[in-house]
Amino acid sequence: MEELIRQAIEARKMAYAPYSGFFVGAALECEDGSIYRGCNIENAAYTPSNCAERTAFFKAVSEGKREFCRIAIVGGHEGEMAAPSPCGVCLQVMQEFCDPETFEIVMAKSETEYTTKKLKEMLPYGFEL
């Protein structure tokens, strides 16, 4: 767990957030043990912005990964560390690829201070076709 959070902290250093000033990093662990990092990437037109979680998912899926066990997320304004809760859009992306009963969302303030929730708890009525 500490290693996954450490990777999320590293990912956060790449965050591009000149509009909100809120810098987020995520580290997504695949079933095969590989880890994909993501950061938030904002845009002057606002809506094209991408959250750290989706960046990590899209990197992993575009590299052929489809099985995931957990994601660690860290974030905050410059010089502070909060434990951000994923937005609804990111939760729905997780729902697409993960088992809601087992996939874990780790919201971290540091390597040792974190809260873990199952996707099902965060998005009890996720959309499925």
Q: Does 84 bind ligand THU (CB under 6 A)?
A: yes
C-alpha distances in angstroms, 103 versus 67, 68, 77, 126? Answer: 10, 7, 27, 13
Q: Is 21 helix (H, G, I), strand (E, B) or coil?
A: coil
**Number of residues lying near ligand THU (CB under 6 A):** 14
Which of 11, 42, 93, 106 is close enough to bind ligand THU by CB under 6 A? 42
Strand-by-strand arrangement of the 104-108 sheet: 35-39, 22-30, 68-77, 104-108, 114-118
Q: Does 95 bind ligand THU (CB under 6 A)?
A: no
Which of 2, 3, 13, 20 is close enough to bind ligand THU by CB under 6 A? 20
**Residues binding ligand THU (CB under 6 A):** 17, 20, 22, 24, 40, 42, 49, 51-53, 73, 84, 86-87
